[in-house]
Structure 1
Amino acid sequence: MLDTDDLRFFAAIASAHSLAAAARDLNVSPPAVTQRLRALERRLGIHLVDRSGRGLTLTDEGALLAERGRRLLDAFGDLDDALAARRGEVTGHLRIVAPLGFGRRYVAPVVASFRARHPQVRIDLQLSDRLGRMPSEAWDLAIHVGETRDLTSSLTLRTLAPNARVVCAAPTYLGGRDAPRAPSDLRAHTCIALRENDEDVALWRFRSGRHAEERVRIEPELASNDGEVARGWALAGLGVIVRSEWDVADDINAGRLIRLLPGYSLPAAPVVALLGAGPRARAARTQRFLEALRGALTPTPWHLTEGSGTDPAEP
């Protein structure tokens, strides 16, 4: 009565917030999704989905079908992977999630080269800074840049590269101002906030040597959810920004940005890979891509040159 096509179809329904979103994932029209869902419900003789203005809600029967169906699809996928491995092939569907800016600069090129080496692997790369709001069933491999203390313990974490955070501003911004000498001085400066992940972006945390952590609550006068936009504002001399080393190391080394408060450190933001516990995490395609990405980030392609881009007035 059910086949794997039905299970894959309903899995797309279950993971989407609307039929229109499911249609995009399935690359068909919304009416086609509606018709197929109704036909599936008639064939099974049960109601699977409640549709309302707020989106989709699975009935108890729909939740059962989604859960059991996902297990069956995972089992079939695991079998396909095992048989492909016996043939020395890397195949299947790989779903990757990565942060917007980091994904564009570092993950997308690895996807392109990996696909060239393994043309039988179909790859979906989704760029998003809201990993915490995406269920782990929606991806096979997730790249995260930042603190990892709030990540669920059910995921396997693999560190890919170190990454510091730095405070910086353009020379044009600092031209007519006293540079901050302590974190508390930032309250007198124009600060730019980057609203990514689910962090408290207005709370900047500093540490100097063995001293206690110093927290500064800024009042950002500019804010964006796009790192490229925030970095562009900083380069234009519009304010002070806290940004990952991977994004601003070249600008600091070239003198386009000046590193501030070099005697203080901020919480590190390592680049890590997250894997689920299912068979997709163990699949050859996932493990091979992880190896390729680790290779692309070793040695770390970003670094601050000693003494470069530092506020010359700093002691």
Structure 2
Amino acid sequence: MLTSDDLVFFGVVSSSSSLAEAARTLNVTPPAVTQRLKALEQRVGVRLMERTGRGLALTDEGELLVAEGAAIIEAIEGLAESLDRRTSRVRGRLRIAAPYGFGREHVAPVAANFARQHPEATVALELSDHPNVLTADSWDVVIHIGTLNAAERLVTTLAPNGRVVCASPAYLAEHPPIEQPEDLLEHRCLALRENDEDVTLWRFSHSAGSARTVRIKPAMSTNDGTILRTWAIAGLGVIVRSEWDATQDLAAGRLVRILSDWLCPAADVVALLSTRHGRSRRSTAFLAMMREALNPPPWRLRDQSSSPRWPDNMLD
């Protein structure tokens, strides 16, 4: 006999490139995923997945289970959402996805406050810098920095966030001045490879209406924003970073903004919501708390603390 948990489990496994990836998503060990998959196949009496040189492949029966299972889960969740909207109580499981750095500093404290205020709700927070993972339909709320193609989701802006070009005082003292975007071609530039964007193409616009595009040749690159910022502070080159991430270092003098007359494309903080059942009461409550926490944007306040804003009694 199949349960809704079985359907959710198999949906995660079928959308993963490997059992190891499924285990990370489910927060269990790979052997546990293998054993549960075998047990599921024994109960239904057919083979659901085959291992190939490219990874996992669904059998015909597996394809059927994914399709029918998704419809059943959607119906169950739709019923639950409809019932929740008939009550003023905030309950049920809130599934949140967010980028690593921003998630740790700004989303996790709000999730903690949400859990304190709504004890009947449970919270699952997943941090990842892979947009394709974040936009999967297994999340109620996806927090994202910048633009993202997500046609099947509702998008709402939570806070403004610009991008700035900066480098350490030591680097700037040892290298020629940077007065125009083209000057970057003679400098060590550091690139952040977070997704499929062309990270070597830096775009700029001027208040006078002109625009420039510079194709940099990264001296160093990484997929971790914290590492990139650390490299820049160490004097290894010039970076483009989100305002939310660079403000404290700029205020402390560890980094210096350059090309201040030129603007990089904005990267606002947005929330992506599933369109399947409309917005649940718990999603609405969480988004209200996120908006409150980000209004005004903490990175645009003069006096900032370097610590995340956790609830007081969570720090005891």
For residues 241 and 183 of structure 1, the distance between their equivalents in structure 2, rounded to whole angstroms, comes to 13
Q: Tell me, what secondary structure is at the counterpart of 2:298?
A: coil
| CA 18–206 in structure 1, closer or farther in 2 if over 3 Å, else same | same
The residue number in structure 2 matching 1:300 is 297
The residue number in structure 1 matching 2:127 is 127
Contact 2:134 2:142 in 1 (8 A): no
Q: Output one character per residue of 1:133-184: Cα deviation in whole Å (capped at 9) or x when no partner.
A: 5552232211111234xx1322210001111111111111111333211000
For residues 135 and 55 of structure 2, the distance between their equivalents in structure 1, rounded to whole angstroms, comes to 17
| CA 190–32 in structure 1, closer or farther in 2 if over 3 Å, else same | closer
* Paired residue type of 2:131: L
Q: How big is the shift at 1:100?
A: 1.5
Contact 1:48 1:58 in 2 (8 A): yes
The residue number in structure 1 matching 2:107 is 107
| CA 208–51 in structure 1, closer or farther in 2 if over 3 Å, else same | same
Q: How big is the shift at 1:27?
A: 5.3
Q: Tell me, what secondary structure is at the counterpart of 1:168?
A: strand
| CA 101–27 in structure 1, closer or farther in 2 if over 3 Å, else same | closer
Pick one of 200, 203, 214 that aligns with 1:202. 200
* Paired residue type of 2:294: L
Contact 1:165 1:245 in 2 (8 A): yes
| CA 304–79 in structure 1, closer or farther in 2 if over 3 Å, else same | closer
Point out the more displaced range, 286-295 or 36-45. Answer: 36-45
* Paired residue type of 1:13: V
Identical pairs, percent = 51
For residues 147 and 3 of structure 2, the distance between their equivalents in structure 1, rounded to whole angstroms, comes to 42
The residue number in structure 1 matching 2:139 is 139
For residues 206 and 194 of structure 1, the distance between their equivalents in structure 2, rounded to whole angstroms, comes to 17
Contact 1:97 1:128 in 2 (8 A): yes
Point out the more displaced range, 244-253 or 53-62. Answer: 53-62
Q: How many residues align?
A: 302
Aligned pairs (5 A) from 1:216-255: 216-255=214-253
Contact 1:96 1:124 in 2 (8 A): yes
Q: TM-score, normalised by structure 1?
A: 0.87
Aligned pairs (5 A) from 1:36-75: 36-75=36-75
Contact 1:173 1:239 in 2 (8 A): yes
Contact 2:135 2:142 in 1 (8 A): no
The residue number in structure 1 matching 2:91 is 91
The residue number in structure 2 matching 1:309 is none
For residues 210 and 156 of structure 2, the distance between their equivalents in structure 1, rounded to whole angstroms, comes to 29
Q: How big is the shift at 1:86?
A: 3.9
For residues 163 and 29 of structure 2, the distance between their equivalents in structure 1, rounded to whole angstroms, comes to 44
Q: How big is the shift at 1:226?
A: 0.8
Moved over 6 A (4+): none
The residue number in structure 1 matching 2:9 is 9
For residues 15 and 55 of structure 1, the distance between their equivalents in structure 2, rounded to whole angstroms, comes to 11
Unpaired stretches in structure 1, ≥5 consecutive residues:
306-315
For residues 27 and 147 of structure 1, the distance between their equivalents in structure 2, rounded to whole angstroms, comes to 29
Q: Output one character per residue of 1:218-258: Cα deviation in whole Å (capped at 9) or x when no partner.
A: 11112111111111111122211111111111222232221
* Paired residue type of 1:295: E
Q: How big is the shift at 1:39?
A: 4.0
| CA 25–163 in structure 1, closer or farther in 2 if over 3 Å, else same | closer
Contact 1:167 1:261 in 2 (8 A): yes
| CA 70–92 in structure 1, closer or farther in 2 if over 3 Å, else same | farther
| CA 177–158 in structure 1, closer or farther in 2 if over 3 Å, else same | same
Q: Output one character per residue of 1:97-130: Cα deviation in whole Å (capped at 9) or x when no partner.
A: 2112111111111111111122332322222221
Q: TM-score, normalised by structure 2?
A: 0.86
* Paired residue type of 1:117: Q
For residues 23 and 249 of structure 1, the distance between their equivalents in structure 2, rounded to whole angstroms, comes to 37
* Paired residue type of 1:240: V
* Paired residue type of 2:46: I
Q: How big is the shift at 1:95?
A: 2.1
* Paired residue type of 2:250: I
